[in-house]
Amino acid sequence: MPRVLSLDPATYTRHACHTRDRDWAETNCYSDVIIEMLHGLGHEPLAGMSFTLASDWEVDQWTFFKFPHQDVEELYGLEIHEMAPWRDLLRHVVDQVAAGRLVLVEMDSCYLPDTQGAAYRIAHVKSTIAVNEIDLDAGRMAYFHNQGFHWVDGDDFRALFQLDGLVHPRILPPYIEVVKPLPRGRALAGPELLAGALACLRRQLDRAPASNPFPRFRAAFERDLQWLVTEPIDSFHNYSFVTFRQYGANFELAATHLRWLAAQGFDPGAADCFAAISRDTKAMQFALARAVARKKPVDFAPLEAMAARWDEGLSRLREALAR
């Protein structure tokens, strides 16, 4: 039975980033799976979250934030690279896991039981999982996804891999990556991990938007609102996923990263700025959903406050790193 880590979904404890007291218990599928994967490997994912500070308004959506592969290599000694799916997916997964490599692969959430109440048996939605264990005889698989570590078996397992005639349309093969230790790499710890995290932070701040993204987002949102109010509420939910939820969850992770840095001895006093953006975005999203559904006027004032907090947070970080 190929397996990378000796973990049991029944006893697995998820990372603190995925606890119920968070503003955003889930962020996006790729960041969430990397958080739990690193946690399962015994690493601290909070050290590698400075990429959140480079988030920007990307014309029609906020940055789909992801752990940069360079940061994962430098901090955790792990290489992530793409695979070419030249044969059936199941064979790829079995062989790579047997070689001691976690497999990051896009799967159909319709057959992932951990999405119960969202996509499971309801909708075909692609989502990235990290396969840790696969048992061909039992027809089951253990995988990291969203907020934790899970099992899938039975008809769901067969549907995911299109076995026994349970074929559903797939236009293209899934995107696959493997995770393996660098030949001479190692995970940093203690003062070295802090130094590495600060090096990543400096690099990510150099990539931060040259201008405040919130005024640009507000201008786009004011235009988009004209058609949103004519659409069914599902359109607003789709829009919200790539806008409010995307940057709200991003900046909550930014605040959590900065609080981790503070606990290690580097505190620029910027965490509260980004935590406020996250908190106010969640409140604004709920208010907007009601306003759009009822065709009521929208209050844009919270976006002005978020813009000010973004400026303050970035300024404090740059000042602290310049000392």
The set of residues, in sequence order, having a beta carbon less than 8 Å from that of 264 and lying 6+ positions away, is 193, 194, 197
Give the span between the Cα atoms of 294 and 177, in whole angstroms.
44
In tens, the pLDDT along 30-59 reads 999 999 999 999 999 999 999 999 999 999
pLDDT at 171 > cutoff 70: no
Distances (CA, A) of 27 to 4, 12, 236, 247: 25, 20, 18, 9
- pLDDT band at residue 288 using 50, 70 and 90 as cut-offs: confident
Predicted pLDDT at 231: 85
Q: Per-residue pLDDT tens for 88-129?
A: 899 999 999 999 999 999 999 999 999 998 899 998 989 999
- Does residue 170 surpass a pLDDT of 80? no
Give mean pLDDT, residues 226-254: 92
Question: Tell me, what's the pLDDT at 236?
Answer: 86
